[in-house]
Structure 1
Amino acid sequence: MRTERNLTRLDRVFARLDREPERPAHIDVPRMSRHRVALFAGTLAFYLAIVWAVVITSWLVRFDWQVMFFRPYQQWAGIHWFVDYYVVLGQRGPTAVMVAAWLGWRSWRQHTLRPLLTLGVSLLLLNITVGAAKIGMGRLGPHYATTIGSNEMGLGGDIFPSGHTANAVVTWGILAYLASTPRARRWLSALSAVTSLGVGLATVYLGTHWLSDVLLGWAAGLLILLALPWCEPLIARAEVAVFDLRDRWRERHGAFVPAPAAPSAPVGAPVMIKPRTTPAHDEAAARETVSGTGRAARAPAYHLAPGPHSTRAERTPVTPVGSRRPPHADRVPRGASTSAARPLTGG
């Protein structure tokens, strides 16, 4: 006897994704338009200008030291507790988990892997670009500065650009990038901009970053968001590859794929009923057809029943008339006079 393999949770997830088209028709994939290319070029120029201003120890570095000596965490000590919690919105671990949960639900509802794959590509670009810049420039933070007025570059630090700020721009900006309507995209863009701005200023308040670190972090995160349309073909190919890998895995392990059920007649539809005939009637109809003397043979008549028949359990029981006992010669029917039936005795 053949037994079918039980479906695993992964099989059920992919079955859910296969129900409808993988990419909804009403959602437009952003393209690399001229406006976006111009914004990308302007942001890249701003990024390089900030790096150059710090390398040559310009007025921006002097302003960094002035803000550091101002010590905002001492000037406004009453909001320190709030800033400690708010800056978590820029930490990569908690924000990635929150956004991935939301985009996972979006992938489930839209039957596509694009939201999760887009998040993965953006975080990968963030780790590569920002991480390489941090290690390459090696700038020390305000708490570890050695020489007043210097740019603190090339001393083994890892705070330039600000990872909290860049992560806030990318993580919350990806929600606006994947928005399904223009109105939602505008609102989410404004919300992500305010959130990332607050995270950057929170790091300056706490003294963990220079102000120039925050400016470069904003530019680094915005460059990743603006470059995502160039990655859309790669995301589409990755989605196709994931589903192909799923199909090969199913074939290799003999996964059971339920076949679609045959459409059944709706309840209440008319049913074709063939009238019951006797063997004698069938024999007479055959003789008429062979001899040709009778009337032309008619096709068996079919009648339309008004609806489906009720089951035996739903029918109203009918009490039979009369007695169920078999007839007997010596048995007297009920209610009849018994005097005439009995033999007379005596003289």
Structure 2
Amino acid sequence: MRTERKLTRLDRVFARLDREPERPAHIDVPRMSRHRVVLFASTLAFYAAIVWAVVITSWLVRLDWQVMFFRPYQQWPEIHAFLDYYVVLGQRGPTAVMIAAWLGWRSWRQHTLRPLLTLGASLLLLNLTVGAAKISMGRLGPHYATSVGSNEMWLGGDIFPSGHTANAVVTWGILAYLASTPRARRWLSALSAVVSLGVGLTTVYLGTHWLSDVVLGWAAGLLILLALPWFEPLIARAESGIFDLRDAWRDRRRGASPAPAPAPAEVPVPLTPIGSPAGEQEPVVREPVAASRPARPPGHMAPGPHLSRSERTPVTPLGSRRPPQSDRVTRGTQPARPLAGG
């Protein structure tokens, strides 16, 4: 007996994605236009200028120290509790979970893996670029500064550029990057700018970053968002590869499932009929098992031996009207006469 295979959760997810194999027409993939290339080059030059200004201990470093000595968390202590929670919007773990949940729902509705793959690509670029810059420059933060007025570079720190700021720019800016309409893109761009600006200034308020760290974090996050169109072909190939692996996995599971055993075919049994030569045989098809059972008598005939009409007793619905006669002789026969003696 063949039973239907129970679908797993992964099967249901891919079945939902398979409902519309083509990407919806209203979703446009950003391309690396000339305007975007100009913005990318300008932001990259600004990034290099900030790094150079900190390396040579310019006026930007002096501004960092002035803000640190101002101690904003002591000037406005009433907002300290609120900003302690607000800065979580720049932490990589909580924000990645929130944005992934939203983009996962978008992937479910639009029947494509592109939103989740784009988020994964942006976070990977963020970890590689920002992490490499932090380790290579090794700047110490305000709480661990060693000498007043120094740039605190190459001392084993990991705060330059600001990871909270760059993460806020990327994770909230990816919503604007993946927006399906120009109006939604404008509103989400403004929202991501406000959130990332607030997160960066909050780290300065709490004293965990220099002001130049925050400025470089904004530039680092913006560079990732501007460079994402270059990775769109790779994202498309990754999506196609995932679906190819899914199809191969499905085919493997279908091939591993046991097929129902075929019914045994009836083989004709050669029998030799009586009177035929010994060398000649005629194939006779075996009858089904049900045909060998004795046939049941028809419903209108009572089983058992049947009597002749002369031997039957007439029967009416009320029974026989003829009283039983033990001395009645059967028709056609004569009673034996007594033999007289003498």
What interval of TM-score do these two structures reach, taking the shorter chain for normalisation? Answer: 0.7 to 0.9
- The AA in structure 1 aligned to 2:71 is R
In the alignment, does 2:183 pair up with 1:183? Answer: yes
Q: Which residue of 2 aligns with 1:154?
A: 154
Q: Give 1:20 shift.
A: 1.1
> What residue is the counterpart of 1:36 in the other structure?
36
CA shift, 1:36, in A, is: 0.3
The answer to whether the 8 A contact 1:5-1:255 is kept is no
Deviations 1:255-306 (A, max 9, x none): 89xxxxxxxxxxxxxxxxxxxxxxxxxxxxxxxxxxxxxxxxxxxxxxxxxx
Q: Offset at 1:253?
A: 1.1
- Structure 2 CA distance for partners of 1:237 and 1:128, relative to 1, 3 Å: same
Is 1:135 aligned to residue 153 of structure 2?
Answer: no
Conserved? CA contact 1:22–1:110, under 8 Å: no
CA-CA distance at 1:234 after TM superposition: 0.2
Structure 1 position 6, deviation (Å) = 1.2
Partner Cα distance (2:174, 2:68) in 1: 32
Amino acid at match of 2:131: G
* CA distance in 2: counterparts of 1:151 and 1:187, whole angstroms: 38
TM superposition shift of 1:26: 1.2
Count of aligned pairs between the two proteins:
261
Deviation by residue 1:23-52 (Cα, 9 ceiling, x = unmatched):
111111000001000000000000000000
Give a deviation string over 1:223-247, Cα, whole Å, max 9, x none.
0000000000000000000000000
Aligned mates of 1:30, 1:21 — CA distance in 2: 20
Look up the equivalent residue of 1:104 and give its one-letter code.
G
Residues 191 and 252 of structure 1: is their aligned pair in 2 closer, same or farther, counting only changes over 3 Å? Answer: same
Q: 1:26 to 1:255 in 2, by over 3 A?
A: farther
| Matched-pair identity in % | 88
- Cα distance change, pair 156–40 in 1 and its aligned pair in 2 (3 A): same
- The match for 1:172 is 172
Q: What does residue 21 of structure 1 align with? A: 21
What does residue range 167-316 of structure 1 map to in structure 2 within 5 Å? 167-254=167-254
Instruction: For residue 3 of structure 1, report the CA deviation from its aligned partner.
Output: 2.7
Of structures 1 and 2, the larger Rg is shown by 2
Alpha-carbon distance in structure 1 between the residues aligned to 2:133 and 2:58: 20
Structure 2 unpaired stretches of 5+: 257-315, 318-342
| Deviation at residue 185 of structure 1 after TM alignment | 0.1
SS in 2 for 1:157: coil
Tell me if 1:94 matches 2:94.
yes
1:45-60 to 2 correspondence within 5 Å?
Answer: 45-60=45-60
User: What are the Cα deviations for residues 7-28 of structure 1, in whole angstroms up to 9, with x where unaligned?
Assistant: 1110010000000134111111
* Inter-partner Cα distance in structure 2 for 1:87 and 1:216: 17
Distance 1:164 1:21 in 2: 37
Is contact 1:165–1:196 with CA below 8 Å preserved after alignment? Answer: yes
Q: Deviations over 1:59-100 (max 9, x none)?
A: 000000000000000000010001101000000000000000
Aligned partners of 2:49, 2:24: CA distance in 1, in Å?
41
1:78 is the counterpart of 2:69: no
Letter in 2 for 1:172: W
Residue identity opposite 1:118 in structure 2: T
SS at match of 1:254: helix
Cα distance in 2, alignment partners of residues 174 and 7 from structure 1: 33
Partner Cα separation in structure 2 for residue 73 and residue 212 of structure 1: 18
2:243 partner amino acid: F
Deviations 1:172-216 (A, max 9, x none): 000000000000000000100010000000000000000000000
Letter in 2 for 1:40: F
Find the aligned partners of 2:185 and 2:220 in 1 and give their Cα distance: 21
Do the aligned partners of 1:90 and 1:168 also contact (CA within 8 Å) in 2? yes
Aligned-residue Cα RMSD (Å) equals: 1.7
Question: What CA distance in whole angstroms lies between the structure 2 residues aligned with 1:253 and 1:5?
Answer: 10
TM norm structure 1: 0.73
Q: Distance in 2 between matches of 1:26 and 1:125?
A: 27
- Secondary structure of 1:161's partner? coil
Q: Does structure 2 conserve the Cα–Cα contact (< 8 Å) formed by 1:7 and 1:255?
A: no
CA distance in 2, matches of 1:223, 1:163: 14
Partner letter of residue 63 of structure 1? Answer: L
Deviations, residues 128-180 of structure 1 (Å, cap 9, x unaligned): 00000000000000000000000000000000000000000000000000000
The answer on whether the counterparts of 1:71 and 1:207 sit within 8 Å (CA) in structure 2 is yes
